[in-house]
Chains A and B, each alone.
Chain A
Amino acid sequence: MANSLEKKRSSQLVRDIRRHKSVYLLLLFPLTYYILFRYVPIFNGQIAFRDFMALDGILGSKWIGLKHFKTFTHSYYFWELLRNTLMYSVGKLLFSLPLAIILAITIYECNKPFLRKIVQTLAYLPHFLSWVIMYGILLALLAPGDGIINDVIKLFGGKPLDFLTNTDAFPWIVILSDAWKEMGWSAIIFIAALMGIDPSLFEAALVEGANSWQRVRYITLPSILPVIVIVVLLRLGTILDAGFNQIFMLYSTPVLSVADIIDTWVYRQGLLEFQFGLATAVGLFKGFIGMFLILGSNRLVRRFGGSSLF
């Protein structure tokens, strides 16, 4: 009985494999890539547990267990770093992502071809302004001495504000400027998704007498939901990446208490000081949190019957 079941199983497997024979050919190169360029570095990532000495190589370096992890978690600023990192990544997820989706939908729905085209052509361009340039623009807007916004405040008799060096204002500046720069770029993928909607759905909706709001609510949004879910899940996987380049350019000593994130700390402590084991250990730490979140939310998505990662 068990035997025949086993036989049935294996024959099913053989059928499945035979059926997908050419699949394995398709997989040949991509999998080789993943093993060589992704898993070998992960194997090398064991320097997180070693006192890495360049001359001894990875396997020859002394095994020191969790010492690097402890250096990180015992940092004077550990909890603050974690809090700041989450504040920025969650803030951007909750703010920039919905804005990008709204932008994609409005571009799709706009019935003024001129407006639609010009926004679609320009919206992605700020992505190319490096943070060096963006900083110059923010300085011109917000500088306490001669920033435009402070000029307006002074015009109305107010006291100029030090937006860029004020701990209350700084987080908002990070989140808003990120949305400003990246919204159009993030919207591209949703615009691409919107192009796949079957127009006959809209015709049906019109026949049923749905208005524009209902159309967005019941057709447009559900059709791009799978892409939104994938994007959110993937961003949860890297939740402890809060945008190194941006923060590194924008922060200054007075706002370190709200600006310092894990990556900037690692850069100062690890990369610039030949502590590569530490840098890798922090990378693994971030990975564990990301993996936990990605698996957890994936399960949640599946429970609600959405399209999931796994």
Chain B
Amino acid sequence: MKKHCTSRIGMATVVLLLSLSLFAQGTKEEVKAAGPTSVELWYGAAITEAGPPPADWVGFKVIKDKLNIDLKLTALPSNENDQDVKIQAAAAANNLPDLFMVRRDVLSRLVPQGLVAPVDDLYAKMPVRTADHYDAVSQNHARINGKSYGLADPGSINMNEGLLIRKDWLDNLGLAVPTTTDELLAVMRAFTFNDPDKNGKNDTWGYGAFQEINNFEAWPGRRLEPLFGAFGVDGTWSLKESEAGLNVLKGEFYDAMVFLKKIVDEGIMDPNWLSYKKDDFRAAWKQGRFGIMREQNAAFAAQANYAPFDKNFPEGNWIVIDPPKGPTGKASIGPYTANYRIYAISAKAAKEGKADKIAALLEWMASDEGYYLLGWGVEGVNYTKDADGIPVAKGLADPNLAFSAPGGQTVTQLRNMVFYNGDIELYARYPLYVTETSKKEMSALTVMREMQTKAWTAQIGSDTLPIPNADLKRFYEQGLSEFITGKRVLNPANWAKWIDEFKKLGGQEWNDKGVAFAKENNLLTR
């Protein structure tokens, strides 16, 4: 009896299931609205923790009146992985918005799916914007199979990081600024063992870092590049014509590993570096835990970021120094490439004939009206202009609505669509100020200008090179870090064995593909 019934219910379920799955496969109908063209934009918020522009934001009205565009905004999640997931999910359902910000890795996977429209013919339609935003390198950045699939807007400015040292600690100990790796070691030892802050406690270290890894700054990542630069192996790749290829395969990389291991074993680097996340690292230097680090200009010197350090250590003084020279005289803060934020147009939008409208929108954003409205808000409400025409947050009726205050930040969320690192915005972003406690005059801009004069390794395009699959990537990162923690013994024999295994697992293929790609795209330097 039971079986009988079970099978009947089963049959009914199967029938229901099939009929439902049929309609689940149905496609959504596209309804074309009359009147203004609607443009759906998924943007990367400038200040993720502040909210989106309010519904009554004046920008919506201006864009509708001037361009006949009904702009629909969606802020992408504030975390890169989340962004990737959201965009790829929408892509899987062929539901991408008309215009969206996307990382190059993800874009390169959407293009073969036929989901993204080429933008080559749009540059000519946006003369002003193209002049400001899209130079030849930019137009090449998102080139896949010969076509440009994304508008690469300038991201953070090149070489905006530097090697910093606590000058006050050096003075306390009567030491000079280190110029070589040997001197650096000596200073790190003194910073660790000789109580540089004279607080009577053994609570300081020489170097501070955390693992910050990306495509062109593989393990140990950005914060330690100055150490590897001394051996000429900073960054994932070498793009020098004579020695192009993965740095890890070079003999000097082993020397750099030995150097790093020495620092770690001697205990002169903050031992928390393997466990720190970005926030922990940034909290740590503000608490005076270490005396040497690589840090970004604004993360170090902007008013809000420097204030806690200034309050804790009014006598404290970080200075930007040259990267230390290694045994063969090499030195580099690290590799740098042109940083871009890519905005792509979905194939769906292009098919609906929206590409020209989107070009008009972007071109308008590059006009003075769009530039100031999206970058700083409404003059007199969110900003005023000083004598040099630089937007400042002074003389406003409601200071909370200033572009830099929580109330005004929401109207500048789209600023990274208009900014191109021009002088006006750099002055506005990094104003000169006087620190609260120590009354020092500081500016993240002067710090940055100084950082840019130091030795760097030019690697334009190194972030577009092929990336390894997840297994190979893990093998690489895990192996190197195990050599440093001591789980693997670092000696030439073990190293050679590990390199062999790495090559076998696909490392050699990765290397060869990368070199071929670099040659093909003229990325190699002399």
Contacts and interface: CB of A to CB of B under 8 A. Distances in A.
Interface residues of B, number: 54
A263 to B, nearest CB: 13
Contacts of B85: 271-272
Contacts of A137: none
A253 B478 contact: yes
B289 interface: yes
A253 B54 CA distance: 42
Interface string B474-508: 11011011101101000000000000000001000
Given A35-B20, A40-B24, A253-B477, A274 B211 contact: no
A207 interface: no
A77 interface: yes
Contacts of A12: 1
Contacts of A13: 1, 4-5
B21 interface: yes
Contacts of A160: 271
A254 B487 contact: yes
A75 B470 CA distance: 10
Contacts of B144: none
Interface residues of A, number: 49
Contacts of B27: 57
B214 interface: no
B24 A43 contact: yes
Contacts of B109: 273-274
Interface string A255-272: 011001000010011011
A36 interface: yes
Contact of A252 (B16, B88, B114, B275): B275
B5 A77 contact: no
B81 A272 contact: yes
Nearest to B478: A256
A65 interface: no
Contacts of B471: 75-77, 269
B271 A144 contact: yes
Contacts of A144: 271-272, 275
A83 B464 CA distance: 35
A271 B88 CA distance: 8
B478 A254 contact: yes
B342 to A, nearest CB: 16
Contacts of B84: 271-272
B25 interface: yes
A110 B298 CA distance: 56
Nearest to A275: B109
A268 B470 contact: yes
A273 B85 CA distance: 9
A207 B436 CA distance: 76
A245 interface: no
A145 B270 contact: yes
Interface string A137-179: 0010001111000000000000010101111000000000000
B280 interface: yes
A39 B17 contact: yes
A276 B111 CA distance: 16
Contacts of A53: 113-114
A10 B3 CA distance: 12
A98 to B, nearest CB: 30
A55 B94 contact: yes
B312 interface: no
Nearest to A60: B25
The SS class assigned to the A binding surface is: helix
Interface string A40-63: 100110000000111101110000
A253 B481 contact: yes
B460 interface: no
A167 B484 CA distance: 13
A54 B4 contact: no
B67 interface: no
Contacts of A58: 25
Given A12-B1, A253-B219, A260-B474, A36 B211 contact: no
A146 B475 contact: no
A9 interface: yes
A162 B274 contact: yes
A269 B469 contact: yes
A11 B475 CA distance: 66
B11 interface: no
Nearest to A259: B478
Nearest to B115: A54
A235 B277 CA distance: 32
B205 interface: yes
Interface string A281-296: 0000000000000000
B33 interface: no
B209 to A, nearest CB: 12
B93 interface: yes
Contacts of A76: 471, 475, 505
Interface string A62-98: 0000000000000111000000000000000000000
Contacts of A35: 13, 16-17, 20
A91 to B, nearest CB: 21
B94 A54 contact: yes
Contact of A139 (B203, B280, B487): B280
Interface string B182-215: 0000000000000000000001010000010000
Nearest to A257: B478
Interface string A12-31: 11001100000000000000
B424 to A, nearest CB: 37
A269 B274 contact: no
Contacts of B4: 9-10, 13
B272 A54 contact: no
B55 to A, nearest CB: 30
B338 interface: no
Q: Which of B17, B21, B85, B219 has the most CB of A within 10 A?
A: B21
Interface in B68-92: 81, 84-85, 88, 91-92
Contacts of B271: 143-145, 160, 162
Interface in A184-202: none
Contacts of B484: 254
Contact of B106 (A43, A52, A136, A274): A274
B91 A54 contact: yes
B92 A165 contact: no
Contact of A254 (B17, B92, B205, B481): B481
A39 B91 CA distance: 22
Contacts of B274: 162, 164-165, 252-254
B485 A162 contact: yes
A310 B512 CA distance: 56
Interface of B: 1, 4-5, 13, 16-17, 20-21, 24-25, 27, 81, 84-85, 88, 91-94, 105-106, 109-110, 113-115, 203, 205, 211, 219, 270-272, 274-277, 280, 289, 469-471, 473-475, 477-478, 480-482, 484-485, 487, 505
9 contacts: A13-B4, A39-B21, A144-B271, A162-B485, A253-B481, A254-B478, A268-B470, A268-B474, A273-B109
Interface of A: 9-10, 12-13, 16-17, 35-36, 39-40, 43-44, 52-55, 57-59, 75-77, 135-136, 139, 143-146, 160, 162, 164-167, 252-254, 256-257, 260, 265, 268-269, 271-274, 276
Given A39-B20, A75-B471, 16 more contacts: A36-B20, A54-B91, A54-B113, A55-B114, A136-B280, A145-B270, A145-B289, A160-B271, A252-B481, A253-B274, A254-B485, A256-B474, A257-B478, A269-B471, A274-B110, A274-B113
